Chain A
């Protein structure tokens, strides 16, 4: 059974007692062998811990990733002053030549309407906006350990992020965009001369895989788990299917379908 004063002995060791408390405890120690023994043991343990426990330090790679993450935060903050459900700011922010090209994009996209639910139109419009604005990437990194945590807090989904450089699909970064009014995580890959955006957003509804072609761009949609995916690029459909296969292979076996 520990002496009722034992916590005060810890507090003494930790420099948490004022002068009056210290004096009172000193008087107690004179008459309490248990607390004297505790004090000696704590002093010995304390110096052992101080010298033995390493203080771990972050390495240069982590520091660099942190700097990249904060840069990405700054870019998003500059672009999205408030959490907006619709990408209206894009149009407001666009000016001059950019506005003209965006308009052209919008016309192309809307005139190409087909039987889809608007998702493909949104995805292609977002892809083209990103390309035209030169803001294809909010967080630029080929390191999945930078890109993946960056999505946390920006979107409510945690999409698979991996670098498939050995298969020809190099991870270049991530972005937040909007599909059908939802925030979507966009993982950006480079494949030869092509940029491929893979959009992912929460949609438990499922649905059949679907390939589409619009204005020279290929789109490929699929579901896995509770996520909807749509890859878009001006590369060949077979390449999008290759990328889809690689992404599916990173998912837990029970959510690949």
Chain B
């Protein structure tokens, strides 16, 4: 194994779980997430020498770019399954509960489904904040937007989910 490969594995590949989780929440299927992650990891490896600073937001930014690039390519080559259909299929993709699921699992599934229905630019900030525990600064770096935009997107995403979680009034 080359020295460069070893460094890549120690610094970047250790964040594979975070990379996959983001891809999986953005993508509409596990297969699409796999493709995004593979594309991203190869790009990351090629561009590894240019990495300065933190590897995790850097890698997540590449994952994110790969997702949007692939999505844009699909838009140019339209196929069955537009956004309306995605809304309908999303709960099945993200829910895990068996039939015996209790009410609590039902709510979890509902929340996950609601997150799946958010536009990706809202979904990603919420996933990065709530699941990956990134700071505003890191999320801003990943998404390539100012911190103020991260804050407003996060607030809107939470407001949408709170309507599901806490009843109709939610948060504003």
Contacts and interface: CB of A to CB of B under 8 A. Distances in A.
A48 interface: yes
A14 interface: yes
B171 A38 contact: yes
Given A7-B155, A74-B5, A42 B37 contact: no
Interface in B112-148: 112, 115, 126-127, 129-131, 135-136
Interface string A37-66: 010011011101111111111100011011
Nearest to A49: B130
Main secondary structure of the interface of B (DSSP, over half): helix
A57 B41 contact: no
A256 interface: no
A151 to B, nearest CB: 10
Given A16-B135, A50-B130, A70-B45, A7 B158 contact: no
B46 interface: yes
B72 to A, nearest CB: 14
B35 A52 contact: no
Contacts of A168: none
A93 interface: no
Contacts of B161: 45, 49
A70 B159 CA distance: 41
Contacts of A118: none
B139 to A, nearest CB: 10
A54 B41 contact: no
A52 B45 contact: no
A175 B41 CA distance: 19
Contact of A152 (B20, B31, B39, B165): B39
Contacts of A10: 151, 154-155, 158
A4 to B, nearest CB: 12
B115 A41 contact: no
A66 B38 contact: yes
Interface core residue of A62, A69, A74 (most chain B CB under 10 Å): A62
A20 interface: no
Interface of B: 2, 5, 8, 13, 16-17, 20-21, 24-25, 31, 33-35, 37-39, 41-43, 45-46, 94, 96, 107-108, 111-112, 115, 126-127, 129-131, 135-136, 151-152, 154-155, 158, 161-162, 165-166, 170-172
Interface of A: 1-2, 6-7, 10-11, 14, 16, 38, 41-42, 44-46, 48-58, 62-63, 65-66, 69-70, 73-74, 145-146, 149-150, 152-153
